[in-house]
Amino acid sequence: MKISFKLKTAMLIALIITLVCAASVFTLISAGEKAIGDELKQRLIQSVERNADEVEIKNGILDIENDFAFYAGGVYCSVYSSDGKYIKGEMPDSLNADIEFRNGETASRKINDENYLVYDSQVLFNKYECEVDIRSGNVINCEAGSADYESVEENEYRNIKFSSGISASKAVEAAIEFVDANREKVKLISVDYEPLSDSGVFKVEFVSDQAEYIWIRGITPADSTGNAFSTINRWVLCSLPLLIFVAAILAYLIAKRIIKPVEDITLSAKDISSGNDLSKRIEIGNGRDEIHVLADTFNEMFERLGKSFENERQFTSDASHELRTPLAVIKGECEFALSKNSNASDYPEAFREIQAQADKMTALVSTLLTLTRTDQKSSKFVLEPNDISILCEEVCADFRSDRGISIKYDIEKNIVMNCEPVLICRLLENLLTNSVKYGKENGETVVKLYKEKEHIILSIADNGIGMTAEEKEKAFNRFYRADSARSGEGFGLGLSLVSKIAELHGGTAVVESEKGKGSEFRIIF
Ligand code: ADP
């Protein structure tokens, strides 16, 4: 199945939006649930433990103090005996379920289809404070609370004795017996004597590891928060399809917006390509983003293609035009020689003309070939270090000028550069030929070769007819001839070849010229 890029992008964005939204909502809910759940647990545990401090055993009777909160902050607290019998509380009967007691554990329980948190605390009564009357040896008061048996150290005590009463050790025995504990399992904390107005008591404080205990159970509804969250959960689940739908629409709109410029570019490119009109451009307004860079790149490509096609077209039409003239002459000469009007004495003249035209065509084709090869910038030319001072000197020395024009040259010695000697000679010959062709009768041409900073400059200056600004601009164009009378046999390719050869050597060709005064061509390598 072919899925468009727009659809793919939309689907991807929709997926991302949905996942991000769903993940955020679920994270939020879970975090909220956990935070509230933790807070609920904390409240439950605190209520139960606070109440644990409010119970003690006084003289064998369980004493629940008034500060014991049976119901506070949504938490029900009840007191149970060690065998799980309900002793006291305000727990609704419905919550008095038969749930096993577990010390210090918070558990979720379902009671009558409702969720509750249950926390049990075992309250030990293993720390005793008993008062023993010194005269009778009877325990007159004994209170029990809880302590950590393991952390209590057995303490020494002074065995005070009274002549008319019991000794401290007797008091200890009496106290331990009173609470029915085993002396072996008892750790004494302190034994103090306290005088009373008429008599006195021994206060015996100790812990036992055989202890009575009770349970305090706290229960609180867990659904108060859970309900809210399960409602939200349900809501989120139900609205998920809607969320996906909205995300899909949003994603489609975003994708459409993202893809729009690309579609515009495609449309314009198609339009340009189908209409074969390379002068048209992609218009997507101003901007500097990637899409605009893409459009600009396309436009530059169209521009270059357009120029290249135009050059190609111009070149073909000019080349065929140039070839047509000598071909027409050859054809004419042949027709004349073969006609009845001619005789044998006419033939040498006809052949000479045909030969001249054939030479002209050969020269043209050779120049075109060189141009094409330099155009391709292929590895057909190998640039190697050559002493161009010698090359230029030889060309100038060998050059035969006419019309009384003298060739002077001032060439710096030992200038070596990477070049193709044949092409450098061709370049200089072309410029010398032009300087003579467009030079003044008995004028002069000056050739200079020198180094200037990191450049090598070859200059050919004449005092000939010169050029107007417009001619100067077009001089390097292929097949351009400003003055066809002077150009004579020229094709208007000499300077374009010069410029191509300069380019091939990493240089440029420039001209300074003034009409009627002369021209200076400079090749800057
Ligand atoms: P052509 O075969 O016509 O000489 P070129 O490409 O060598 O072709 O030169 C292009 C045109 O530039 C010439 O037709 C001429 O008008 C102008 N030109 C070239 N060299 C000179 C020069 N030294 N002085 C004046 N005009 C020149």
Is 511 a pocket residue for ligand 1 (Cβ < 6 Å)?
no
pLDDT band at 164 (very low <50, low <70, confident <90, very high): confident
Bridge partners for 455 per DSSP: 452
- pLDDT exceeds cutoff 80 at 154: yes
| 3-state secondary structure (DSSP) of residue 461 | strand
For 305, other C-beta atoms within 10 Å of its C-beta total: 12
What was the pLDDT predicted at 29?
Answer: 81
Say if residues 404 and 464 touch (Cβ distance below 8 Å).
no
pLDDT band at 486 (very low <50, low <70, confident <90, very high): low
Residue 457 in tokens:
């400059």
Is 520 a pocket residue for ligand 1 (Cβ < 6 Å)?
no
Give 493 Cα–ligand 1 centroid separation in angstroms.
Answer: 9
Please provide the distance, in angstroms rounded to a whole number, between the alpha carbons at the two ends of the chain: 59
Helical residues (DSSP H) of 1-101, grouped into ranges: 5-52
> What number does the ligand 1 atom closest to the CA of 489 have?
2
pLDDT tens string 186-241: 998 899 998 887 788 999 999 998 778 899 999 988 865 556 666 777 777 788 78
Cα 125–129–133 angle (5° rounding)?
140
Say if residues 181 and 209 touch (Cβ distance below 8 Å).
no
Say if residues 39 and 261 touch (Cβ distance below 8 Å).
no
Residue type, 369: L
By DSSP bridging, strand 444-452 and strand 106-111 are unpaired
Is 493 a pocket residue for ligand 1 (Cβ < 6 Å)?
yes
What was the pLDDT predicted at 316?
Answer: 81
pLDDT tens string 414-436: 999 999 898 899 999 999 999 99
**Which conformational region is residue 434 in: left (phi greater than 0), alpha (psi within -120 to 50 degrees), or beta?**
alpha
- The DSSP-derived string for 110-154 is EETTEEEEEEEEEEEEEEEEEEEETTT--EEEEEEE---GGGPPP
pLDDT band at 455 (very low <50, low <70, confident <90, very high): very high
Give, using CA atoms, the residue closest to atom 25 of ligand 1.
466
What was the pLDDT predicted at 50?
Answer: 92
How far apart CA 71 and CA 325 sit, in angstroms, is: 120
What was the pLDDT predicted at 238?
Answer: 83
Q: Please list, in sequence order, all residues whose beta carbon lies within 8 angstroms of the beta carbon of residue 459, skipping any fewer than 6 positions away.
A: 446, 447, 448, 449, 520, 521, 522, 523
pLDDT > 70: what percent of the chain?
95
> What number does the ligand 1 atom closest to the CA of 484 have?
14
How far apart CA 503 and CA 92 sit, in angstroms, is: 103
pLDDT band at 337 (very low <50, low <70, confident <90, very high): confident
Is 476 a pocket residue for ligand 1 (Cβ < 6 Å)?
no
State the chain's mean pLDDT as an integer.
86
- pLDDT exceeds cutoff 90 at 462: yes
CA dihedral 464, 435, 471, 301 (to 10 degrees): -160
- pLDDT exceeds cutoff 70 at 484: no
> What number does the ligand 1 atom closest to the CA of 462 have?
23
Q: Please list, in sequence order, all residues whose beta carbon lies within 8 angstroms of the beta carbon of residue 281, skipping any fewer than 6 positions away.
A: 268, 299, 302
Q: What is the mean pLDDT of residues 482-489?
A: 66
How far apart CA 479 and CA 475 sit, in angstroms, is: 9
Counting every residue written for the chain, the total comes to: 525
What was the pLDDT predicted at 409?
Answer: 93
Strands, sheet with 455-462, edge to edge from the N-terminal-most edge strand = 406-411, 444-452, 455-462, 518-524, 508-514
Give 378 Cα–ligand 1 centroid separation in angstroms.
Answer: 27
What was the pLDDT predicted at 309?
Answer: 83
- Cβ-count burial 482-506 (b if 16+ within 10 Å, e if not): beeeebeebbbbbbbbbbbbbebbe
Is 494 a pocket residue for ligand 1 (Cβ < 6 Å)?
yes
**Residue 260 Cα to chain centre, angstroms:** 22
- State the chain's maximal CA–CA distance in angstroms: 184
pLDDT tens string 249-280: 888 888 888 888 888 888 888 887 787 777 88
For 306, other C-beta atoms within 10 Å of its C-beta total: 15
- pLDDT exceeds cutoff 70 at 357: yes
Give, using CA atoms, the residue closest to atom 12 of ligand 1.
475
- pLDDT exceeds cutoff 70 at 378: no
Q: How many CA atoms lie within 13 A of 263 on its CB side?
A: 9
pLDDT tens string 37-47: 888 899 999 99
Give, using CA atoms, the residue closest to atom 14 of ligand 1.
481
Say if residues 116 and 103 touch (Cβ distance below 8 Å).
no
pLDDT tens string 278-314: 788 878 777 778 888 888 888 888 888 888 888 778 7
Is 519 a pocket residue for ligand 1 (Cβ < 6 Å)?
yes
Please tell me the least confidently modeled range out of 88-92, 151-155, 327-331: 88-92
Mutate to test the pocket of ligand 1, among 474, 487, 520 (most ligand atoms within 8 A of CB): 487
What was the pLDDT predicted at 229?
Answer: 65
What was the pLDDT predicted at 424?
Answer: 92
Is 434 a pocket residue for ligand 1 (Cβ < 6 Å)?
yes
Residue 375 in tokens:
């155009």
Quote the crossing angle between the two packed helices 421-437 and 388-398, to the nearest 10°. Answer: 40
pLDDT > 90: what percent of the chain?
32
